[in-house]
Amino acid sequence: MASIVVVGGGLAGLVCGARLLRAGHDVELFEAASSVGGRLRPIETEHGLLEPAVGEVGWADANLRALVASLGLDPSTEGQVERAHALVLGGRLHRPPPLRAAEFLFPRISPRMDRPIDAVFRRPPRWRDRRPVVRAIWDSLRQSSLEAPDSVYALDDVPWQRVSIRAFGTRWCTTRLAPALLARTGVDLSAESAAIVMPMLARLLASAGRSVQLAGGLSSLVAALAAPLRIRVGCRVERLETTTDGVRIRYRSGGRSGGALADAAVIALPPSEILQICPKLSPVERGHFESIEPRRSIVIHRRVSQDAWLLRGLAGVTFVPGELPDMRDLRILGAPPEPYAKEPFWVRVSLDHESVDAHWNDSDQALIHKLDSTFRGSPLGALPEGASRVERLDEIISIQGRGALARRERFHRRSERSPRLAFATSALATPDLEGRVTVGMRAAAEAVGELDRLSRLSSSDVPGRNPMG
């Protein structure tokens, strides 16, 4: 049994810690915040807990669904549900059906949502550009191994926005494809490598708009993962050094400095934080994390109690660029409320990428005033009055960019690596819940494999001892 420290209590870190504990290791998790869960962490308000995540599991999220089943978490009484997302386009609220696989071959069969033709919709689709994308989606749907198909690798060096617009045209991408991906991931994928988007797109199509809601939401998943773990909350790791003998951790908790020693460590933090606490990474490791672009976000939560509000019953709304200034999308948190129901619920409105930088230093009141004034003049009408909460996220997503798969492959196959160290960072996964669960599982396996490798090396150094036992 080895002692292993997991740094970071988000979903990936919790998954990694739970698997290591199940394998029989002595696991301790360090979390800088006052509770674990990362972006799934419920927020305490005067109106009760606010769960900032949608409490559902995608129908095609194999690892996430297997994890839920292994923890004995039952789905809610609604079971399998379909999340209806709307779209604001041309001053109107449209409610298109879920994205269908046939639309990738024939975008013209998709529901028509017109507005006056302008620069947004000038580029038509081209079949010769569509064919490699459709092949990559097909291969992603059929793949059974962790290795990406060759057809996906062929799209690795091109941004997703460029690939999708050339293949399907600006009209279909703007009104169907981009909103569907945004509804699933909650992040803007336009600058991401096309190869990174393919697995998420394949899972989206395999789900066909279906999902499984968890009783208690995703916070119940966080609680189940954290229950058996030994966790230090409010403990910020400031420095982590690895040697051939062990891992030394320096941390600060409650205003005091402390130290710990472990056989191995797993870092489940964003790349920017990894670079801060690990001064002695190998050149390949440091170069990989320096190549990742952090992207921050501003989200505004609003508590809605109005029973006849227009958006009750929906899962969310995407705003086509130019429709609502500075706003990107609106999500209904938790299960979609029934139309004309009385129960209050929370909505989350996200600002678009360009507006985040422009308004990052604005006060909370200024942001809330901007939100209300923007909706007041929109086709959705005024946002219902209620308690509001502004949240600034320093790194909502790590943009891996062009060539992401190739760089990730070089990282995994590096010959020079920090001993006794594994990574469960978002920069090694797709930016969705399934990706975070997958990277947590892989990091647990890598940590165990690294300890086995060092054990074999130490055995071979003992004179007269057979390293094979």
Domains, the chain, ranges and CATH?
3-45+217-291+400-460 (3.50.50.60)
Q: Judge whether 436 and 10 are in contact, CB under 8 Å.
A: yes
Q: Judge whether 454 and 420 are in contact, CB under 8 Å.
A: yes
The mean pLDDT value for 29-40 works out to 92
pLDDT surpasses 90 at 363: yes
The mean pLDDT value for 295-321 works out to 89
Residue 467: per-residue pLDDT? 37
pLDDT surpasses 70 at 166: yes
Tens-digit pLDDT profile for residues 330-344:
998 877 777 778 889
Residue 443: per-residue pLDDT? 96
DSSP helix/strand/coil, 431: coil
C-alpha 161/C-alpha 120 separation (Å) is 13
Tens-digit pLDDT profile for residues 87-110:
888 888 888 888 888 888 888 787
Q: Does residue 116 or residue 320 have the better pLDDT? A: 320
Residue identified by tokens 């050149």 is 283
Question: DSSP labels for 304-322?
Answer: E--TT-TTTT-SEEEE-TT
pLDDT surpasses 50 at 155: yes
Tens-digit pLDDT profile for residues 398-455:
788 899 999 999 999 998 989 999 999 988 988 889 999 999 999 999 999 988 888 8
Residue 469: per-residue pLDDT? 33
Residue 166 has, within 13 A of its CA and on its CB side, a CA count of 14
C-alpha 469/C-alpha 450 separation (Å) is 18
The mean pLDDT value for 226-252 works out to 93
Residue 256: per-residue pLDDT? 93
Residue 117: per-residue pLDDT? 45
C-alpha 431/C-alpha 74 separation (Å) is 25
Tens-digit pLDDT profile for residues 48-93:
888 887 767 888 899 999 999 898 887 665 555 667 888 888 888 8
Residue 466: per-residue pLDDT? 41
Residues 174, 176, 177, 179, CA torsion sign: positive
